[in-house]
Amino acid sequence: MNHSTAPDISPGMVRLLAISAGVIVANLYYSQTLVGPISAATGLSPEAAGLIVTLTQIGYAIGLLFIVPLGDLLENRRLVFAALLATSVALALAAFSSSAWMFLAASLGIGLGSVAAQVLVPFAAHLSREETRGYNVGKVVSGLLLGIMVARPAASLIADHGGWHLVFGGASVAILVLAFVLRRKLPERVPAHQLGYGRLIGSLWTLFATTPVLRRRAAYQAGLFGSFSLFWTVTPLVLSGPQFHLSQTGIAIFALVGMAGAIASPVAGRLADQGHTLMATAIALALAVIGFALPLIEPASRGLGIGILVVASIVLDMAVAANLVLGQRAIFTLGAEVRSRLNGIYFALIFSGGALGSALGAWVYAHHGWHGALLAGMAFPALALVYWFTELAGRPALSGKPV
């Protein structure tokens, strides 16, 4: 679908892929705000409660490396359908869990199956023409990011009124319905070549080692996602603390307002389509630094303090959303036959940065407080920006040309 005479993906299909990606990836984040009630109900000790989130992330990382690459081997629609059926079963198991081991096993399965979202993003690239690929991928990524941002407040609000079992039971039904919708609506997409699975997985390291664009874009986004995870790990603790005294509902509303940052995705896609990836990357990294610098201001007014945090969250979310699209647009130009594998490696590295950010954020906040956490969060995009200057130094003089 690279030729200008080929039909482009329809707006309706872009919307379907965006909504689907958001609904699927939300599964990874429901448990983050429900660790307390889940661990109490299943008998999980406070020391082991972190496994609820960790095992979901581990399952997702495994799926990124061993399931997503199958998009370059198997018919994509069938792969998505099978993954979503498995996810629905895992979510149902979580909903009916009465013991710690059962919920933890379900968490691992939820992470594994939810990688279907990362099969859908390359799907949008495959169906798009070259000149609109960045914009269309940006739209789908907007949906994915909205799913991430909505999941936590939605889980808190639903659990407040119907219990945490309803969160996972409802998600199971939603994913089951989505599986059949996508099986009916998605076109078939059969990869052009047929590697064996062993060779397919073995090629991941070769792709990483021989694709400098992949390594660089993953480094930029890992830094941004590390700062994003740190911010959303620590900020709810600050908002519920003595300075702001927000309830869980108040924190949920705060998180929903931050969703406005997702509007940057299609804008970044347009910039990438026009050849401005290099400069747009610098802007995204700089915005993330600013997002952590703003809360260092401590106004006397509680309302103004919350307002500054709202602006910081939107700025940070814009940076993460924009740079994610810029990175995917760059790696999706490297060849349709390797897109799923490149996307799997890309997101595995990004989530590694996210895991580091959330773990570091909790530790720094406990030992050095809010300001220490803000400085640690600022360090992630600042280091990525330093790395960006090595790319700038290696480029020819700009001379007014898009880069």
pLDDT in tens, 2-54: 445 567 789 999 999 999 999 999 999 898 778 778 888 998 876 576 678 77
pLDDT at residue number 398: 42
CATH 1.20.1250.20 assigned to domain 11-394? The reply is yes
Rg (CA), the chain: 21
The per-residue pLDDT of the chain, averaged, comes to: 87
Task: Print the SS3 string covering 146-169.
Answer: HHHHHHHHHHHHHHHHHCHHHHHH
Confidence (pLDDT) at 5 = 58
pLDDT of 402 strictly over 60: no
| Alpha carbons 153 and 157: distance in angstroms, whole number | 6
**pLDDT value for 1:** 44
| Residue 387: band (very low, low, confident or very high) from pLDDT cuts 50, 70, 90 | very high
Residue 285 is predicted with a pLDDT of: 97
pLDDT(373) > 90: yes
pLDDT at 361 over 90: no
Q: What percent of the chain has pLDDT over 90?
A: 45
Q: What burial class does residue 347 get, using C-beta atoms within 10 Å of its C-beta: 0-12 exposed, 13-18 middle, 19+ buried?
A: buried
What average pLDDT does this structure show over 217-231? Answer: 92
CA distance 327 to 340: 14
Distance CA 358, CA 222 (A): 12
Tokens 């008998």 locate to: 43
Inter-residue contact 65 to 202 (CB < 8 Å): no
Phi, psi of 240 (to 5 degrees): -85, -5
| 273 pLDDT tier (thresholds 50, 70, 90) | confident
Give the pLDDT mean for 56-75. 89
What mean pLDDT do residues 53-70 have? 88
- Compute the average pLDDT of residues 70-97: 95
The residue with greater pLDDT, 267 or 182, is 182
* Residues 360, 230 contacting (CB under 8 angstroms): yes
By the 8 A CB rule, do 53 and 30 touch?
Answer: no
What residues does each domain of the chain span?
11-394
Length of the chain (residues): 403
Amino acid, res. 318: M
What tokens does 316 get?
Answer: 């940070």
Q: What is the pTM of this model?
A: 0.81
Q: Where do runs of H (alpha helix) occur along 240-338? A: 248-257, 264-273, 277-293, 302-331
Q: According to the model, what pLDDT value does residue 265 have?
A: 78
Q: Tell the burial category of 176 from Cβ atoms under 10 Å away from its Cβ (0-12, 13-18, 19+).
A: middle
By percentage, how much of the chain surpasses pLDDT 70? 94
pLDDT single digits (tens) 122-162? 888 888 888 888 888 878 888 888 898 889 889 888 988 89
The whole-number pLDDT of residue 399 equals: 38
